Amino acid sequence: MRNCCLNIAAAITALTAVTPALAEDAYNPKIDPADYSIKIDNPLFKFPIGKEMTFETKSEDGLERIEIRVRGETRVIMGVETLVYNDRVFLNGQLIEETQDYIAQDKTGNVWYFGEEVDNYEDGKLKDHHGAWLAGVKGAKPGIWMKAKQVVGDSYRQEYYKGEAEDWAKVVSTVETVKVPAGTFKNCTKVYEWTPLEPDSKAHKFYCAEAGGIALEEELADGKRTELIKVKGGS
């Protein structure tokens, strides 16, 4: 009986090492607005005003195109001035989603994610705002989008809004080479991203200093690749 209990305890310990505690009470980042800036110059997530990135994904539904722009808008969330990161998704040329993501960088170089406004479209018409959340509203809390220092095995929350936005990230490697239409990038950081809300939604994302951000995303379920086509400014 004692051996059985020991085995169970070992299993729980192993599971905890892989999946961080999900209890919302255990996650409570202390946010001091004085520690944050809209100057986003983390080497793996560099977003000066004017930066543009374009991605493409080939799927069963057709060609998906993602356009990211930083136009200089800001918004104050939890007392922190955040930079607006505009993200538009097109499927076969038709807009299907547009988001305004809110980010800020702390004094140590971590890029924090403070929420997003979401417009989902169907047949050219606004459908809903599913997926939207803002830190400080209804218990939602900010998370880290990109850490200042990449340590293999390090896991962290990227966002937290109970039952709606609970993405996690784990650093897998820091020496990857990525080849996409925008170029070949070396010494990229490979990050495993997942959410307990959608067990089948798992992906590897590759962040490259030469691109100043993500260059490739690979979905683990079907191998679908989202590739960087071009980047302008900030690399």
**112: domain range?**
37-232
Per-residue pLDDT, 233: 82
Q: What is the CATH number of the domain that holds 115?
A: 2.40.360
Per-residue pLDDT, 9: 37
Per-residue pLDDT, 86: 97
Per-residue pLDDT, 17: 36
In a domain, 134, yes or no: yes
Per-residue pLDDT, 25: 57
Q: Give the bridge partners for 68, in sequence order.
A: 53, 87
In a domain, 27, yes or no: no
Per-residue pLDDT, 180: 98
Domain count, the chain: 1
Weakly modelled stretches of the chain, pLDDT under 50: 1-22
In a domain, 18, yes or no: no
Per-residue pLDDT, 5: 39
**3-class state of residue 63 by DSSP:** strand
- Looking at residue 19, the DSSP 8-state letter turns out to be S
Length of the chain counted residue by residue: 235
Per-residue pLDDT, 39: 97
Per-residue pLDDT, 26: 86
In a domain, 123, yes or no: yes
pTM of the model: 0.87
In a domain, 147, yes or no: yes
Give how far Cα 55 sits from Cα of 6, 61, 97, 201, Å. Answer: 49, 16, 14, 19
In a domain, 22, yes or no: no
In a domain, 195, yes or no: yes
Per-residue pLDDT, 234: 59
Strand positions, DSSP E, 14-166? 36-37, 41-42, 45-46, 52-59, 62-69, 74-77, 80-91, 94-106, 111-122, 125-128, 133-134, 141-146, 155-157, 159-160
In a domain, 226, yes or no: yes
Per-residue pLDDT, 19: 44
